Amino acid sequence: DIQMTQSPSSLSASVGDTVTIACRASQGIGRSLAWYQQQPGKPPKLLIYDASTLQSGAPSRFSGYGSGTDFTLIISSLQPEDIATYYCQKHNSPPWTFGQGTKVEIK
Amino acid sequence: VQLLESGGGLLQPGGSLTLSCSGFGFTFGHYAMTWVRQAPGKGLEWVSTISHSAAETWHSDSVRGRFSISRDNSRNTVFLHMSSLRVDDSAVYYCAKDSPHTQYTSGLLLEYWGQGTQVTVSS
């Protein structure tokens, strides 16, 4: 099975900073990569799919890119409400594995 | 769209439990449905998925042979039947709906999630 590995596990940044989170697949998955945001105490929300397509309703400060095995989520101009854990997920075929998560905190 | 899970609880190792999830605000029978769990302080773990027609089901290695998933489209409800429960099955179990983008494909995007139901397995 394909494993999904995120880095870093956690990060601390200031409001207004640009934040980048990486996700690596153990084998190529084309562009079938999604990102989810889970704010504390809430269920996850779909942010991005197909590596770079913004889900309806997601703020435009979120963007993604990548293909094959290496993917990146970018939060430009970090806002207080972006405090959350972010997960990548391969969405092309089963098992639809998640990464282990990246916790984003405000400095 | 709303997803309402129920059926969680506290039980002993080796026990059985069935979770339910009712969907509202969409054509339930047109979408695959999924269970994802999250152990305390841990990340998300995909558990089981059932196709829109119930013709296909998929399970993670960690639950295959112990859990099964089913659905009743006439009642807009999906179920997770859990047996031989272990302490490490303790988690919040979320029900989630597939996205139109991956509808009727082998892909899975979890567009809407319920609030989750807690399952605790302890002696």
The pLDDT score that the predictor gives to residue A66 is: 98
Residue B104: closest CA among B69, B55, B60: B55
B35 to chain A: which residues are within 8 Å by CB? none
A32 to chain B: which residues are within 8 Å by CB? 107
The pLDDT score that the predictor gives to residue B105 is: 85
Q: Give the count of beta carbons closer than 10 Å to the beta carbon of residue B81.
A: 14
Residue B120, both tokens: 């605790």
The pLDDT score that the predictor gives to residue B106 is: 86
**d(Cα A18, Cα A74) in Å, to the nearest integer?**
7
Which residues of chain B, if any, have pLDDT below 70? Answer: none
Cβ–Cβ contact A52 with B under 8 A: no
Tell if the CB–CB gap between B45 and A44 is shorter than 8 Å: no
**d(Cα A74, Cα A48) in Å, to the nearest integer?**
11
**d(Cα B20, Cα A10) in Å, to the nearest integer?**
34
Cβ–Cβ contact B115 with A under 8 A: yes
Per-10-residue mean pLDDT, chain A, length 107: 98 98 98 98 98 97 98 97 98 96 97
Residue B111's region, left for phi above 0, alpha for psi from -120 to 50, else beta, is alpha
The pLDDT score that the predictor gives to residue B49 is: 97
Tell if the CB–CB gap between B49 and A94 is shorter than 8 Å: yes
